[in-house]
Amino acid sequence: MNQYVTGAVIKELRERAQLTQAELAAKLNVSSKTISKWETAKGYPDISLLEPIAKVFGISVTELISGNAVRNVNVAANMLRSNFYVCPVCGNVIHSMGEAVFNCHGVLLTPCPPEETDENHMIFVERVEDEYYVRIEHDMTKQHYISFIAALSFDKVQMVKLYPEGNAEARFKMNGVKKILFYCNRDGLFSMDVVRGIDDKQTSYDDAKQRRALEQTAKLLFG
């Protein structure tokens, strides 16, 4: 085990649960002095107490020992707030609707922060019947490639896994799609908002500058 629960995590979880040291001690059948030692880094809880501690705070043992503060709240099931985690070792992709803790190949994963597309990661979208055809101009070699493309709506995530030496393209049902994301194995996650009047046309734009100009026009026309 490379990580263990810290006093700072226990203190934060205790205060979030609005428990005093004495109240937490009573639930765990230890003394309040013991809780104080944990929270001031003068000692650690015995491994046999990890499960009871996690149970008190309504989290898993993995979350407890991860060192990450986890909010135990309803995430309202809004898929547009989705997080994507990618393992740097095997490329495994994990989707989460809210805050979570994941480990893969011994690596503690963190959510990928989406960035705005740039000239090296340009995405092109056009309508084909009732679908969005999404194409990305990007290398697809074994060393540098797009790992996946996803289309997000309020209540749905559509995702297509891509592979090196394939095509960086995908099709998604248009209904409700508000955002498109894709992941570059070297440069991370990129995001683009689907814009009415641009991406629902049956012909695509040609380059990044044209896309920016069309986006500004669409915002003026459609708000």
Q: 101: which residues sit within 8 A by CB, 6+ positions away?
A: 60, 62, 63, 66, 68, 70, 108
Report the percent of the chain where pLDDT is more than 70: 81
Task: Identify the pLDDT of residue 43.
Answer: 85
164 pLDDT above the threshold of 90: yes
DSSP 29-46: TS-HHHHHHHHTTS----
Give the model's confidence band at 6: pLDDT under 50 very low, under 70 low, under 90 confident, else very high: confident
Task: Identify the pLDDT of residue 149.
Answer: 98
Q: 191: which residues sit within 8 A by CB, 6+ positions away?
A: 114, 115, 116, 117, 179, 180, 181
Task: Identify the pLDDT of residue 208.
Answer: 56
DSSP state of 8: H
| CA 109 – CA 95 distance, rounded (Å) | 12
Residue 42's identity, in one-letter code, is: K
Average pLDDT of the segment spanning 34-44: 90
| Greater pLDDT, 141 or 102 | 141
Determine which helix (DSSP H) or strand (DSSP E) holds 197, and give its type and residue range. none
Going by C-alpha positions, the residue among 209, 182, 207, 212 that lies closest to residue 195 is 212
CB 202 within 8 A of CB 129: no
Domains defined along the chain, listed by start:
7-66 (1.10.260.40), 79-109 (no CATH), 115-222 (2.60.40.730)
| CA 97 – CA 80 distance, rounded (Å) | 8
76 pLDDT above the threshold of 60: no
Task: Identify the pLDDT of residue 81.
Answer: 87
Task: Identify the pLDDT of residue 68.
Answer: 60
| CA 100 – CA 109 distance, rounded (Å) | 10
Q: What is the pTM of this model?
A: 0.65
| Greater pLDDT, 96 or 2 | 96
| CA 169 – CA 167 distance, rounded (Å) | 6
**Tokens describing residue 30:** 């230890």
Strand partners, 77: none
Average pLDDT of the segment spanning 136-144: 92
Give the model's confidence band at 77: pLDDT under 50 very low, under 70 low, under 90 confident, else very high: low
Instruction: Encode pLDDT of 178-221 as tens digits.
Output: 999 999 999 999 999 987 656 656 665 555 566 666 566 555 55
| CA 203 – CA 4 distance, rounded (Å) | 55
